[in-house]
Amino acid sequence: MTIADQAVSPRNLTARLRAALGLAPAGPHYYVYRHKAFVRAGHWINALCLLVLLMSGLNIFNAHPALYWGNGSNFDHPALMLGAYQDEFGQVTRGVTEIGGKEFDTTGVLGASRYGGDLISRGFPAWATLPGPNWLALARQWHFAFAWILVINAFVFFVLGFRSRHFLKDLIPTRADIAHLGREILEHVRLRFPHGETARRYNGLQKLAYSVVIFVLGPLIVLTGLTMSPTMDSAFPLLPILFGGRQSARTVHFLCAFSFLGFFIIHIAMVVLSGTWNNLRSMITGWYAIQGQERRP
């Protein structure tokens, strides 16, 4: 059998298919307990909360789809604005996104989108918001309710994470992790993922990404959210000073939200590319399949 024949042999194709689907490897493999129960529970609660928070937050943003910097709203010079143009009969003709004074036609997606068959002025489209219509009061209630669930879940996760040394052992990058970061980024770009014993734990790139999300983006989005509340500003006047004003806090809050969205998209892509069902199994049951013979200490 030639090398070309071996490359397309049924055994080879089966192994590739199982790897692509994330099933247990066809050859020798063993299972490791990769995720503790509190990590798995926290993960799925966070996933639900962040989804509802993003979609309800976009609905709240639609009430005034513009961002500013400072303590007040400079309507003539927004940092970002989602708007629409109308004809002489008041009919919406197109949607635009303005960033730093430059306009981009985003009809159908941002600024103006179809709802009930008509093109209407709307920052984000109905399919991206909860609830779908422009229902600001209900969107606020959903947003605040799930924000508190997220904060409580994060508090429990932090307590258990420090008690179990999960952060120190599994999430905080070590000096060796940082030293190999360039190589790991290159490996991920080439879609080459850890196998064997190296798949037991997070690599440096994963640790860095999760640490930024947990210790930077998470606290930042909570603090900026609190800063937008006049009640919280009265109780803690340092908050608006810390972020350079309520409008600045709103802008940072918006950027953090879309940073979470970017992380989520990359996270899902990596889960699929590195083995969908194996990764899902580990986050549902805790057990992760590793190819090869288990090494006994």
Predicted pLDDT of residue 221 = 95
Amino acid residing at 186: L
Predicted pLDDT of residue 129 = 93
Model confidence band, residue 4 (pLDDT cutoffs 50, 70, 90): very low
Amino acid residing at 137: A
Model confidence band, residue 55 (pLDDT cutoffs 50, 70, 90): very high
Identify the residue whose tokens are 């190819």: 291
- Cβ atoms of 51 and 261 within 8 Å: the answer is no
* Chain mean pLDDT for the chain: 85
Nearest residue to 247 via CA among 262, 227, 231, 223: 227
What are the tokens at 27? 């050859």
Amino acid residing at 263: F
Q: Where are the domains of the chain?
A: 25-65+128-291, 66-123
Model confidence band, residue 15 (pLDDT cutoffs 50, 70, 90): low
What are the tokens at 26? 């066809």
Q: What is the mean pLDDT of residues 72-92?
A: 88
Query: Is the model's pTM score more than 0.85?
Result: no
Query: For residue 204, what are the contacts with CB-CB under 8 A and spacing of at least 6?
Result: 173, 174, 176, 177, 178, 180, 181, 184
Measured CA to CA, the distance from residue 95 to residue 212 in angstroms comes to 34
What are the tokens at 159? 């307590």
Per-residue exposure over 53-91, b if at least 16 CB sit within 10 Å of its own CB, e if not = bbbbbbbebbebbbbbbeeeeeeeebbebbbbbeeeeee
Measured CA to CA, the distance from residue 171 to residue 211 in angstroms comes to 6
Residue 293 to residues 25, 100, 105, 198, 289, Cα–Cα distance (Å): 12, 57, 57, 13, 11
Least-confidence region, from 163-167, 251-255, 281-285: 163-167
Measured CA to CA, the distance from residue 96 to residue 104 in angstroms comes to 5
Model confidence band, residue 17 (pLDDT cutoffs 50, 70, 90): low
Model confidence band, residue 125 (pLDDT cutoffs 50, 70, 90): very high
- Cβ atoms of 256 and 4 within 8 Å: the answer is no
Provide the percentage of residues in the chain whose pLDDT is more than 90: 52
pLDDT of 147 over the 60 cut: yes
Centroid of chain to Cα 290? 27
Model confidence band, residue 8 (pLDDT cutoffs 50, 70, 90): very low
Model confidence band, residue 39 (pLDDT cutoffs 50, 70, 90): very high
Q: Write the DSSP string, 196-262.
A: GGGGGS--HHHHHHHHHIIIIIHHHHHHHHHHT-HHHHHH-THHHHHTTSHHHHHHHHHHHHHHHHH
3-state secondary structure of 121: strand
Predicted pLDDT of residue 68 = 94
Measured CA to CA, the distance from residue 157 to residue 48 in angstroms comes to 15
Selected residue with higher pLDDT from 108 and 275: 108
Query: For residue 72, what are the contacts with CB-CB under 8 A and spacing of at least 6?
Result: 245, 247
pLDDT of 22 over the 60 cut: no
Measured CA to CA, the distance from residue 45 to residue 242 in angstroms comes to 30
Domain 25-65+128-291 carries which CATH code?
A: 1.20.950.20
